């Protein structure tokens, strides 16, 4: 099998813009997709979600422009060899660019084998509990209304993207626990607290029986995290956005910096490296709570990883749903029983409505053998 052609498309849906803390502006959410064509008529598809402040961004696609010619003529089943070849070609290389290539190669393998990716990776289960993951709302009443709606839809857990101001966040936590005593809750502070505030909030969240406290400090503050995790029983985890190489990730596991690890395939450079991070976590006796924020193909790749392992406890269902489902025939929605179920189709298992997707295309790259790379701005 050989790679014959590659297309990259940056999609900018006209969605309502959101934020996840008071210090972050409302963002543009672009969806960068790749199609890798082969001489066996198997097409690998994958996507990466990018959040930027000023406009829909093309930086992942621009990095790929320098990598795509290397892939033409390669056997897409030689995944590790391809990843080795592309690493020094764009430096430093955005992990999302590598992830697009890696995930599309996994999609080809799954379609070639007529199997969902999670089964090829080990297939430990076909469902996982879900939590609803909020954006930031202006008032506590808005948060509580969303929790009530999610409970009605079958969720037993909700994670709050909050104001990232300790006093306001604790007011929300207390109100949520009072209103919903049997629900599981998590808080994500988006790396915004200092150590003193983190310790105060962690101890209070433990008393309120929250499931975990996410991203109080920057992920690389190993000493700070160690002090928090040693001081409380609640699970304390990083954001998963900063420690993106396996050596540093392994160091954190060895030193028990966090109560559990957190990452996702986009930050780790694809399914291949993310699976290694999950396995490293398991070997260190830690859960690995994978993010699944982003458009459907992004979430699907992370879901396959979760289902291939037994040390991931929840699937993250990003809200609101419609924001992340643009241009998809297949979507990922949590079932009424509170679980996310495995895709059944081969590969990533998600079918794209390419006509609808391309109606919001803002930038395209095409690369094929014997032809100059084509760039199209819409």
- Report how far residue 272's alpha carbon sits from residue 256's, in angstroms, rounded to the nearest whole number: 24
The tokens for 363 are: 């930038």
- Report how far residue 91's alpha carbon sits from residue 141's, in angstroms, rounded to the nearest whole number: 47
Q: Which residues pair with 9 in a beta bridge?
A: 33, 364
34 close to 47: Cβ distance less than 8 angstroms: yes
Query: Phi/psi zone of residue 154: left (φ > 0), alpha (ψ -120 to 50 degrees), beta?
Result: left
Domains of the chain: 3-114+353-377 (3.30.390.10), 118-341 (3.20.20.120)
Which regions in the chain score pLDDT beneath 50?
none
pLDDT (0 to 100) of residue 91: 64
Q: Which residues pair with 5 in a beta bridge?
A: 37, 368
pLDDT (0 to 100) of residue 28: 84
88 close to 299: Cβ distance less than 8 angstroms: no
Report the predicted TM-score, pTM, of the whole model to 2 decimal places: 0.95
Q: Which residues pair with 213 in a beta bridge?
A: 187, 236
Any idea what the Cα angle at residue 309 is, between residues 314 and 269, rounded to 5°?
A: 85
pLDDT (0 to 100) of residue 15: 67
294 close to 266: Cβ distance less than 8 angstroms: yes
Tell me whether residue 139 is exposed, middle or buried, using C-beta atoms within 10 angstroms of its C-beta: 0 to 12, 13 to 18, 19 or more: exposed
Three-state DSSP at 309 gives coil
pLDDT (0 to 100) of residue 375: 77
């Amino acid at each position: 099998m050989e790679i014959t052609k590659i297309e990259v498309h940056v999609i900018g849906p006209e969605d309502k813009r959101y934020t996840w803390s008071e210090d972050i502006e409302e963002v543009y959410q672009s969806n960068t997709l790749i199609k890798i064509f082969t001489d066996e008529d198997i097409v690998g598809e994958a996507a990466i979600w990018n959040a930027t402040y000023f406009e829909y961004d093309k930086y992942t696609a621009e990095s790929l422009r320098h990598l795509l010619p290397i892939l033409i003529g390669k056997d897409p089943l030689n995944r590790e060899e391809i990843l080795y070849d592309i690493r020094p070609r764009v430096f430093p290389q955005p992990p999302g660019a590598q992830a697009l290539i890696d995930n599309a190669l996994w999609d080809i393998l799954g379609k070639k084998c007529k199997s969902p990716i999670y089964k090829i990776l080990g297939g430990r289960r076909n469902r996982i509990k879900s939590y609803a993951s909020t954006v930031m709302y202006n008032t506590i009443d808005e948060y509580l209304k969303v929790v009530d709606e999610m409970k009605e839809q079958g969720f037993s857990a909700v994670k709050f993207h909050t104001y990232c101001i300790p006093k306001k966040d604790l007011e929300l936590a207390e109100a949520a626990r009072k209103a919903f005593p049997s629900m599981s809750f998590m808080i994500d502070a988006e790396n915004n607290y200092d150590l003193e505030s983190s310790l105060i909030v962690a101890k209070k969240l433990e008393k309120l029986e929250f499931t975990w406290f996410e991203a109080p400090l920057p992920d690389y503050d190993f000493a700070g995290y160690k002090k928090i995790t040693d001081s409380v029983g609640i699970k304390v985890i990083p954001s998963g956005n900063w420690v993106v190489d396996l050596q540093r990730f392994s160091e954190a596991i060895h030193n028990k910096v966090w109560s559990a690890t957190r990452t996702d395939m986009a930050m780790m450079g694809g399914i291949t490296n993310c699976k290694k991070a999950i396995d490293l976590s398991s070997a260190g006796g830690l859960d690995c709570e994978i993010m699944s924020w982003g458009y459907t193909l992004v979430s699907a790749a992370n879901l396959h990883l979760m289902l291939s392992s037994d040390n991931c406890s929840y699937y993250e269902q990003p809200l609101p749903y419609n924001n992340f489902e643009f241009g998809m025939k297949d979507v990922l929605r949590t079932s009424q029983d509170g679980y996310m179920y495995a895709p059944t189709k081969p590969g990533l298992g998600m079918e794209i409505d390419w006509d609808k997707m391309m109606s919001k295309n803002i930038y395209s790259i095409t690369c094929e053998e014997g032809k100059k790379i084509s760039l199209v701005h819409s």
